[in-house]
Structure 1
């Protein structure tokens, strides 16, 4: 069809050129072959009429040439549009007969057409593009899914897009897709939504927030895709569809494992599309890494110390040991509690130090803070942030000088009040006519209000020698945002502190923890929008990793999420996030520009691996291979 048009056009041009050339040659012959006069006098007498004749002939010939050229040009334009319109109608007719077929041709970076339009009318064609798929549906009543030509307001070149005209009322425009090309790669060239391998997709040119375009409409399930409609179409709602990679786009609904859409017109309140939602309302600006420590921990410890009388009231004959003059140990305790060396407490969690009574210690690497008070009972509290899970475990080590002839009893257990849980391990030595000692290590978590990790555990070991012992209690499995502590209970006359007495004291110590407010680890000024599931709601629990069930709430789509360390994620599909572990459930990780390059990925840590290959969490944080090898398609309406 294009070759016929080109031939006709070249023929018209040739006719016009030859006509003009012939006219010009004729004019030259008239001008130069005037009859010559025989003498100068005759030439002088006839010079003026001849000259006027020449001018008149020249004028009319030139005028005729101009008119003829205009007629030829107008005719060429009419022929061009007649042939182009016939081509569009022919394409429409062919597509209507074969609506399930997809015809692809070469595409360019300006999103030129790649598929035969699926249209029963002329609206949404190359020569008559629509504003959006919803515009086509409302204007022409089209009900066929397929490819149509669009040209949103403010754009200059029509592009071809896939339209879903049947789901939940139809009119959905495919504007983008997110496809993970390498779950182990970080910001590789295939991570088009955020790649630092290409200059045009650099750190400060994040594609969730700009007008860059990449990919092809018919390849949207094989690679990342984004057309100009992402930033130019004015829409009200969004639909997400999860499909296996390389699924034919026009068959994507049939193979979708999960599909859901919003209905509250939230895009209309945020500029009409995701581009304006991010740039104007929820920017993904990278954050610098600023080390912060838990606040008001000193007040928490003071509040526990202030309960001293109440705590010990449930322990008959509580012995108020003496501290001595040395600050890094309980020097002797008095009345033979220890030998001359006394008792010393070591705490290690990435950083390690011997606790000095009444002093404060900080470890910036894991953002932990140690505070103690020389009260009765003695109390030491360590607030552990560990935002990047930089270390997996820590330990208390009590080194106490007492003879091996002491009797030993150990306790362990937990108690729960509201959202708080206190776990403990205890080792009591007693039986001689000297004060007994009960070393108690405790850990307090609140997964809802403090966003504590839920998987950490306590374990213990003991090493006993003739005149001293080591009692070690370990905090395992990546503790984060928890409080751990140590207290020493004692009774006169070598009497054993019973489990009931110990738990009574711990329950009273728990009350100040319940009054402690741990500031939110990451900002929560994000956009959470309710969604309606149309495919896959019954199997939604399979999409959310097991360890993320309590950290997420289904029935929502979250726009922007923040991690513990300042990394931003573009969105959390199908859920809202209740903590800051977005790397396991959200997409579009944008590193903070300083240290967290490992969060730079389309599907971040959906394989359950933390921000370093050397550190692995439980696979209960991982998505299935099916999820990782799926594409998330993004539609507007």
Structure 2
């Protein structure tokens, strides 16, 4: 039985002062020798897991497997070379002559936590072929040296703390090249793709199109709405940069870049770029869950409860609005947060994803994410840093002050 009461309530009067009480009735603890020690020690150990990251590698695998279908959409596709000279620069003499080549830069910024929390989310150039992870924002980027080249940036940003994203491609092409820009949208079932392309052609070099795109699905992936993207193109005598800037807290959204080329310096027409980006959407749309590792149904013990004080409506009124909806009428043993932290008990709710840190108790942090202080009874029940708590009403990701100033008593026999 679990009983929620104000802090410092005497045991003798705890029932009279409780605002929530519920108990299990299936005698499940007999399976575990009748105590919590055996549950947590033998069957459901409270040990941190991995940080939750969106699915990027499988997307790149599928793009790679169907790369021929993509290159066949471009007339006389130019299969550029990958020179192993510098990890962040792609060289090819027929694309860039003897100039620097092409590199991609990514930057992001968050507003919820102090600066030291963002140590592994810093701005940097993309190391081609390597994964890079940001645990604070549950973001992952990776790239693949294939034809065409792809770089993907999966933005989880579950708590919407990151509110600035900058995507930059720097390419060494002479200003004498002719240039043209394309943009367009595609929809497929509930998926949506927006792309913008900057193309160079008309010289002895192979023609080239830099293509930025973003993919979202507000239903299946629970993506945020299509962000407002500001596009910048800066042209110099020997090089140019093509940039996207977003000043919004996007979440569960995929951003990507691909480099499409054609022999003999002939312009790649808009119809072919349109066909390539639609094929990309077809391939990406095979991704069922944006973050499949964020779910852990098979790793928890969930037991239904009966309320003797309060009910499901009372529990729902206590839940922070930003984590709703959640299933109520359960007690759950062990749950995991977005940074791999583990929580002993989820009182009155059932959760199988990153939201556990805002509704479960008894936290133990993941040593690999040492910047988070997740060791306490009511870890993160006060929501994001700087949240102004209400006395009796939850707000954003935070419980009310009444919940934070309470005690959860656990009785078992």
Q: TM-score surpassing 0.5? A: yes
User: After superposition, where does 1:593-604 map in structure 2 within 5 Å?
Assistant: 595=370, 598-604=373-379
Q: Name 2:78's counterpart in structure 1.
A: 320
For residues 93 and 372 of structure 2, the distance between their equivalents in structure 1, rounded to whole angstroms, comes to 51
The structure that is strand-richer by fraction is: 2
Whether the 8 Å contact between 1:344 and 1:398 is mirrored in structure 2 is yes
2:195 to 402, 418, 426: 426
Gap regions ≥5 residues in structure 2: 109-120, 388-393
Cα displacement string for residues 283-320 of structure 1 (whole angstroms, at most 9, x for unaligned residues) = 43x55x988988993x753442231222344x463643
The alpha carbon displacement at 1:575 in A equals: 1.2
The alpha carbon displacement at 1:389 in A equals: 9.4
For residues 187 and 328 of structure 2, the distance between their equivalents in structure 1, rounded to whole angstroms, comes to 30
The alignment partner of 2:270 has SS state of coil
User: After superposition, where does 1:148-547 map in structure 2 within 5 Å?
Assistant: 216-218=10-12, 249=14, 251-252=16-17, 256=19, 258-274=20-36, 276-279=38-41, 281-284=43-46, 287=48, 297=57, 301-313=60-72, 315=73, 317=75, 319-320=77-78, 322-323=80-81, 325=83, 328-331=88-91, 334=94, 340-348=99-107, 350-355=121-126, 357=128, 359-362=129-132, 370-382=141-153, 394-400=165-171, 401=173, 403=175, 406-411=179-184, 415=188, 424-429=193-198, 433=202, 435=207, 437-443=209-215, 458=227, 460-467=229-236, 468-474=240-246, 477=249, 484-489=255-260, 492-497=266-271, 500-510=274-284, 513-514=287-288, 518-519=292-293, 524-533=298-307, 535-547=310-322
> Given the superposition, is the C-alpha separation of residues 592 and 496 from structure 1 closer, same or farther in structure 2, using an over 3 Å criterion?
closer
The alpha carbon displacement at 1:585 in A equals: 0.7
For residues 294 and 431 of structure 1, the distance between their equivalents in structure 2, rounded to whole angstroms, comes to 33
The alignment partner of 2:267 has SS state of helix
* Alignment length (residue pairs): 379
TM-score (norm 2): 0.69
Asked which structure has the greater RCO (Cα within 8 Å, sep 6+), the reply is: 2
Q: CA RMSD in A?
A: 4.8
Cα displacement string for residues 46-67 of structure 1 (whole angstroms, at most 9, x for unaligned residues) = xxxxxxxxxxxxxxxxxxxxxx
The structure that is helix-richer by fraction is: 1
Whether the 8 Å contact between 1:489 and 1:497 is mirrored in structure 2 is no
For residues 291 and 367 of structure 2, the distance between their equivalents in structure 1, rounded to whole angstroms, comes to 30
For residues 338 and 554 of structure 1, the distance between their equivalents in structure 2, rounded to whole angstroms, comes to 63
Q: Name 1:77's counterpart in structure 2.
A: none
The alpha carbon displacement at 1:542 in A equals: 2.6
The alpha carbon displacement at 1:572 in A equals: 0.9
> Given the superposition, is the C-alpha separation of residues 180 and 352 from structure 1 closer, same or farther in structure 2, using an over 3 Å criterion?
farther
TM-score (norm 1): 0.48
For residues 413 and 344 of structure 1, the distance between their equivalents in structure 2, rounded to whole angstroms, comes to 27
Cα displacement string for residues 193-247 of structure 1 (whole angstroms, at most 9, x for unaligned residues) = xxxxxxxxxxxxxxxxxxxxxx8414xxxxxxxxxxxxxxxxxxxxxxxxxxxxx
Whether the 8 Å contact between 2:63 and 2:280 is mirrored in structure 1 is no
Whether the 8 Å contact between 1:531 and 1:555 is mirrored in structure 2 is yes
Q: Name 2:360's counterpart in structure 1.
A: 586
For residues 593 and 376 of structure 1, the distance between their equivalents in structure 2, rounded to whole angstroms, comes to 39
Gap regions ≥5 residues in structure 1: 1-171, 182-214, 219-247
